[in-house]
Amino acid sequence: MTATDNPLLTPSTLPYGIPDYAAIKPEHYVPAFQAAFAEQRQQINAITRVRSAPTFENTLEAWERTGAHLEDVAHAFYTVSSADGTTDIQAIEEELAPLYTAHGDAIILDSALYARVRSIWESRDEHDYTPEQRYLIERRYAEMTHAGAGLGDDAKDRLKGLNTRLASLTTTFEKNLLADTNALAPHFTDATALDGVNSGELDAARAAAADRGEEGYLLSLPLFTGHPLLSSLTNRATRETVMAASRARATTGVNTNTDVLLEIARLRAERAELLGYASHAAYITSDETAGSPEAVHTRLRELAAPAARNARAEQQALQQLIDANEAEPFELQAHDWAYYTEKVRAEKYDVDTAALRPWFEAERVLQDGVFFAATQLYGITFAERADLPTYHPDARTFEVFNADGSALGLFVLDLYTRDTKRGGAWMNPLVSQSRLRGTKPVVVNNLNVPKPASGPTMLTLDEVNTLFHEFGHALHGLFAVVTYPHFAGTNVFRDFVEFPSQVNEMWIMWPEVLNNYARHIDTGEPLDAGVVARMQESETFNQGFATSEYLAAAWLDQAWHSLSAAEAAAITDVAAFQAAALADIGLDNAVVPPRYASTYFAHVFSGGYSAGYYSYIWSEVLDADTVEWFKESGGLTRANGDRFRQRLLGVGGSKDPLEAYRDFRGRDAEIAPLLKRRGLDT
């Protein structure tokens, strides 16, 4: 296949170097990957065969110049495979998984390259490097050592085999989960089963069924345990059906993930021991800000006890409501929690979150909320570029400009759920910024909002939160200005990466922002000030549940990945292991299931969060402390935004993240604001 036939064989000529998705076909990807693999191997060989002594320029900077073609192809493909994974794309992903891993291993484990990097690292104090150059030396050496570059040849061969097998297994896990999520989506023929949902939600369910050629109503399952509509559905049998479907995903049948995740856990533990670590968790955290699994376990246990206590108090209040109001009282179950929580919220605070949807029209939330807050803080502006090709008709592209009118980059938003999109919400780069390569950033946000059959899209409060959260990641990707692509965008420690996105959530309820976007779809009236005040008053409401379900998932991740190889090999019953782990930390409350159970825990078994799901609460310490700083410093101002951008978001991964935080905040983060936010300070 020639460059004329395959647009991925040559650099894109489109603005910002975005892929020409209008011309790209599935059959183009594998040949492009093969060509890009070969090209980077030649580039790396040219570095390792240099006879002159290793220098920063002829080794590390030269390494940074390699692989640009591969990065372009990979970004183009994996953006599609996660957001529009058709059968053809899934087959390509399965074929590529071991090949991509083997290619990466061939570089990161290259003995000659490692020797050159180590030589530069050992003599780093003898040279006047820039801070970014010095940090690149330190990180490349640490990462190669951590990956196993110092092992002997036999151990490296075993390591490569483990990595290749794990790449295939994690791809299988995601494929099985997507298939079972689609297969188990509850289907109802009678609208009365969905009593309690509004007309827009009912239309979206009807459209979802129609997309599959079916009549009736289909509820697409989100990635997390449960469903957003559980808070509205009046029919208890329907609630039970929906929750059962959610929790059954990938547990049995042709799409089961039980054997897959058991093998993943075992092989990760084997790999950790090969690399000299007691467990996969020890291996992962050794190169994160946490430093060790013990530090993570201590933090999670400290939070679990008060969270579980608060959840039990909330459970008691819900049970009392059931006993007092139901003609035939029953014992509260997991599928009842959201429904009766909203009743208690309405009774205690006079707030009905489901009734708020007319104030959260998606386009207005985006333009007058998300974009507005960014403009006020950072001076950036947005212009939609309908002329640029995207990978799916629902994906929209916006050009982003700095306050002085200069071009910053592109932002792509893909809002809606579809059967070919994996669950959850995420940000990924399509083009990474680098001074060395002369590239500007292009970032993508994906959500899974049900698409209405017609008319405007009305968001839930949780979906508004997700939109702001993911845009926080996008800002990190857009604002980072680095020389070396290794540090581009969100290429930071995993237990730091959620911090900027969490901070961006603070603007959802900020009066100036809320009043600008939260306008009734029909009347244009803002949210009543009394409602807003009561929403703010209820911020710690149900935090026992929210914190417990999160901590339960974080602990499951740690439990699976704190096993030795021998311990992992002895596990045969996923459900029993999960139950024992939750009991160990005191989060084994049947009505508060973990946010993600093992068989559908994509973050850790097919995503990049293995032994790292604790990152959300770890980062939230920084987030809550930063929110306090913004409040103390005047809130939504350009001066505050510029400081946050320049000292934290703008450095990308080119600086130790905790050092960057201290530079921004003037001190280390304190945990008290987090405890107060989650109602754990009493």
- Are residue 215 and residue 135 in the same domain, yes or no? no
pLDDT for the residue 4: 76
Judgement on whether residues 56 and 141 belong to the same structural domain of the protein: yes
Examine the domain organization and report whether 53 and 93 are in the same domain: yes
Residue 623 maps to a domain? no
Residues 73, 218, single domain; the answer is no
Helix H or strand E encompassing 408: strand 407-416
Domain C-terminal end among 557, 589, 613 = 613
| CA atoms of 279 and 361, how far apart (whole Å) | 47
Residues 470, 533, single domain; the answer is yes
Domain final position from 613, 642, 663? 613
Is residue 622 included in any domain, yes or no? no
Q: Supply the pLDDT for residue 3.
A: 65
pLDDT digits (tens, 9 = 90+) for 48-57: 999 999 999 9
Q: Which helix (H) or strand (E) holds 384?
A: strand 381-384
Cα 5 to Cα 655: distance, rounded to the nearest angstrom: 42
Domains of the chain: total:
4
Closest to 410 measured CA to CA, from 399, 402, 394, 401: 399
Structure confidence at residue 359 (pLDDT):
98
Residues 452 and 432 in one domain: yes
- Residue 377's domain is classified under what CATH number? 1.10.1370.40
Cα Rg of the chain, angstroms: 25
286 part of a folded domain: yes
Instruction: Tell whether 635 is covered by a domain.
Output: no
- Within-domain flag for 624: no
CATH number (domain holding residue 54): 1.20.1050.40
Does 266 lie in the same domain as 206? no
342 is catalytic: no
Q: In this predicted structure, what is the pLDDT of residue 354?
A: 87
Catalytic pick from 314, 470, 498, 549? 470
Q: Is residue 345 part of a domain?
A: yes
- In this structure, are 559 and 520 located in the same domain? no
Which range marks the domain in which residue 507 is found?
A: 358-537
* Surface-to-core class of residue 670, CB atoms within 10 Å of its CB (0-12 exposed, 13-18 middle, 19+ buried): middle
Residues 200 and 328 in one domain: no
379 and 444 share one domain: yes
Which tokens hold the place of 444?
A: 């993508």
How confident is the model at residue 1, as a pLDDT?
Answer: 63
The pLDDT of residue 319 = 97
Residue 625, domain member (yes or no): no
Assigned domain for 294 exists? yes
CATH of the domain at 577: 1.10.1370.10
Together in a domain, 532 and 546: no
Below-70 pLDDT ranges, the chain:
1-3
Domain boundary among 557, 578, 613: 613
Kindly state whether residues 282 and 392 are assigned to the same domain: no
For position 45, what pLDDT does the model report? 98
Burial 86-110 (b: 16+ CB within 10 A, else e): eeebbebbeebbbebbebbbebbbb
